[in-house]
Amino acid sequence: MTVSPPLTTDVVIIGAGPVGLFAIFQCGMLGLRAHVVDTLDTPGGQCAALYPEKPIYDIPSRPEVLAGDLIAGLEAQARPFDPVFHLGQTVETLEGTADEGFTVTTSAGTVICASAVMIAAGGGSFGPNRPPLDGLSAYEGHAVVYSVQRKEDFRDRRVVIAGGGDSAVDWAVALADVAASVAVVHRRPKFRAAPDMVARMTTLAESGRIDLVTPYQLAGLDGDGGALSGVLVRHTDGSSRRLEADILLPLFGLRMDLGPLASWGLGIDKGHVAVNPATLETARPGVFAIGDITHYPGKLKLILCGFAEAAMAAHQVFALARPGEALHFEHSTSKPPAVPRPCNSAMAS
Amino acid sequence: MPKLTVTDTTGKTATLDARTGLSVMETLRSNGYPVVGECEGSLACATCHVIVDPAWADRLPEISEKEEDMLDTVFDLTATSRLCCQIIMGDQLDGLAVSLPTT
Ligand SMILES: Cc1cc2nc3c(=O)[nH]c(=O)nc-3n(C[C@H](O)[C@H](O)[C@H](O)COP(=O)(O)OP(=O)(O)OC[C@H]3O[C@@H](n4cnc5c(N)ncnc54)[C@H](O)[C@@H]3O)c2cc1C
Ligand code: FES
């Protein structure tokens, strides 16, 4: 990993879910610049990764809004403040103090220095849902992979795909013409995927190009700890089977994991960071936690509460980033965001 | 008040008071059991997997297709695995017994 020269800003926001996105706006309204880091490749947190097509009914003044549209609106609202996004990167370390400033370092080697840190990490960073198999980590990256970067990497390999959703079905069909063999392990005969793709997979199974291994679940890995030779699977009736394999592709969706956050001295209890509800400050002065990650008496895990927490924390951050400066507050009606939003540009000109 | 019996991963069994109208997930979580329930029962996280006592499996409301879909992302499933945010306690479930999975 190459470490880039440090970037400097007022506040680093960890997590680009709905709450992190709104924090950009709230900080921006106070004249504070933000850098935002998220493990995912696109902003939106749970709303974008888990339920973009679902309507939300409890956002004030939006009787019904699709989660994906809510995120698009939050991005548009943040845009005038020129936030710098560092996506596809996980914040791994958080160093420093409120007096000397903070430094965060990401998995991609990005180093950002800031006066304050806002943690809007939700239930943790999103990553693949990893099967709890003995010795798994020794195979991960080369023999156990969670996504297909290049189809060519699978040419003439014996591939076992595990899972029953769209990605399992899509990749089974796509890899059937390059791989030496493709087996699909799923706990039941029914696949929850686009019907036309399921039909194509079934046709390939009938012609012997795909081996449908149902109703089975993953049970173990067979190999020398480096190279994989087989995948062990277990039938619902308890009996076992071994599938010849060079590569296992477990496709069980995303899971949230606190990961590095747990070691930042924040006092994590049951996956949440305790804060002072008046300031949203954590046990570590200068580090604030907002949104789903936060806990205080009476906390509700609702987007609207996260929005309010973002506003309150922004005012605290101002004091750290602009020491000695008085916070002259004006409502957004008297001080609209300086740069017109793209959707308003026609009206403004 | 209906009772809920739970066996943790060490094999220890306890009987809890389960308020009518709350899910088994809420009941276990508020009693300190490591049931995360990250998505608050909206069938988007599968962090509320329990194994229902086989004697009770058929007496629970039928499993929905959405719950089946979410169970597809759980490892080490058993024949009576359920996502317990979907089991709402009431008198008809008085005495329900579940155990927590090891993974
Ligand atoms: C199916 C479903 C339906 C819901 N319906 C509603 C509803 O109707 N109304 C409502 O108010 N709420 C609803 N919620 C809850 C709502 O989505 C959450 O409250 C909200 O997403 C929390 O926002 P957040 O920004 O705090 O965290 P998240 O949305 O969880 O985003 C956190 C982000 O931080 C990132 N992250 C974490 N750690 C790191 C790290 N170390 N480095 C880099 N990035 C990191 C993660 O990758 C993630 O993208 C629903 C949730 C689900 C799953
Ligand atoms: S709490 Fe998320 S699926 Fe049950």
d(CA B58, CA B55): 7
Strands (E), A46-176: 55-56, 65-66, 84-87, 91-97, 101-106, 111-119, 125-128, 158-162
- Pocket test of ligand 2: the residue of B23, B71, B82, B85 to mutate, having most ligand atoms within 8 Å of its CB, is B85
Domains of chain B: 3-99 (3.10.20.30)
Q: What residue in B sits closest to A190 (Cα-Cα)? A: B69
Structure tokens at A261: 């956050």
Is the C-alpha dihedral spanning A189, A190, A192, A195 positive or negative? positive
Report which ligand 1 atom has the smallest distance to the Cα of A303: 11
CB B43 within 8 Å of CB B66: yes
Token pair 């509700």 in the structure block, residue: A300
A314 has a pLDDT exceeding 70: yes
Residue A111, classed as helix, strand or coil, is strand
End-to-end CA distance of chain B: 31
| The predicted structure's pLDDT at residue A342 | 45
CB A201 within 8 Å of CB A169: yes
Structure tokens at A143: 């023999």
The pTM of this model reads 0.89
Does the beta carbon of A119 sit less than 6 angstroms from any atom of ligand 1? no
Mean pLDDT over the full length of chain B: 96
B contacts of A188 (beta carbons < 8 Å): 68, 72
Residue B83 CA, ligand 2 centroid: distance in Å: 6
Q: What residue in B sits closest to A126 (Cα-Cα)? A: B45
Does the beta carbon of A44 sit less than 6 angstroms from any atom of ligand 1? no
Structure tokens at A176: 């059937």
Residue B28 CA, ligand 2 centroid: distance in Å: 13
Q: How far is A191 from chain B (nearest CA, A)?
A: 9
d(CA A288, CA A316): 9
Instruction: Report which protein residue has its CA nearest ligand 1's atom 21.
Output: A46
Does the beta carbon of B66 sit less than 6 angstroms from any atom of ligand 1? no
Stretch among A153-157, A345-349, B72-76 having the lowest mean pLDDT = A345-349
CB A28 within 8 Å of CB A13: no
A267 has a pLDDT exceeding 90: no
d(CA B45, CA B71): 10
- Amino acid making up residue A347: M
| The predicted structure's pLDDT at residue A339 | 54
Say whether residue A46 is in contact with chain B using an 8 A CB cutoff.
Answer: yes
CB A328 within 8 Å of CB A335: no
Q: CB neighbours (10 Å) of residue B99? A: 18
A contacts of B42 (beta carbons < 8 Å): 51
Mean pLDDT over the full length of chain A: 94
| The predicted structure's pLDDT at residue A275 | 97
| The predicted structure's pLDDT at residue A226 | 85
pLDDT tens digits, one per residue of A132-155:
999 999 999 999 999 998 999 999
Does the beta carbon of B83 sit less than 6 angstroms from any atom of ligand 2? yes
**Quick one: average pLDDT of A225-245?**
94
A348 has a pLDDT exceeding 80: no
Instruction: Report which protein residue has its CA nearest ligand 2's atom 3.
Output: B43
| The predicted structure's pLDDT at residue A271 | 85
Does the beta carbon of A43 sit less than 6 angstroms from any atom of ligand 1? no
Report which ligand 1 atom has the smallest distance to the Cα of B38: 53
- Which among A46, A164, A256 has CB closest to B72? A164
CB A284 within 8 Å of CB A265: yes
**Largest Cα–Cα separation, chain B:** 33
Q: Please, which residues bridge with residue A185 across strands?
A: A162, A213
Confidence bin at A270 (pLDDT 50/70/90): confident
ipTM of the complex: 0.92
Phi, psi of A33, rounded to the nearest 5 degrees: -90, 145
Instruction: Report which protein residue has its CA nearest ligand 1's atom 47.
Output: A125
B contacts of A236 (beta carbons < 8 Å): 79
Q: Which residues neighbour B34 within 8 Å (Cβ) at sequence distance 6 or greater?
A: B100
Scan residues 121-150 of A and list those with Cβ closer than 8 Å to B.
123, 129, 131-132
pLDDT tens digits, one per residue of A25-43:
999 999 999 999 999 999 9
According to the 3-state scheme, what is the secondary structure of B49-91? EEEECHHHHCCCCCCCHHHHHHHCCCCCCCCCEEEHHHCECCH
Residue A57 CA, ligand 1 centroid: distance in Å: 16
Does the beta carbon of B25 sit less than 6 angstroms from any atom of ligand 2? yes
Which ligand has its closest atom nearest to the C-alpha of A110?
1
Structure tokens at A282: 């954590």
Residue B37 CA, ligand 2 centroid: distance in Å: 5
Report cis status (omega within 30 of 0) of the bond before A215: yes
B77 with A46: Cβ contact below 8 A: no
| The predicted structure's pLDDT at residue B27 | 98
Which ligand has its closest atom nearest to the C-alpha of B45?
2
Q: CB neighbours (10 Å) of residue B100? A: 17
**Quick one: average pLDDT of A316-338?**
91
**Quick one: average pLDDT of B18-31?**
97
| The predicted structure's pLDDT at residue A1 | 63
Domains of chain A: 7-126+254-321 (3.50.50.60), 130-250 (3.50.50.60)
Task: Give the DSSP letter of residue A186.
Answer: -
B92 has a pLDDT exceeding 90: yes
Residue A343, classed as helix, strand or coil, is helix
- Which among A46, A51, A187 has CB closest to B77? A187
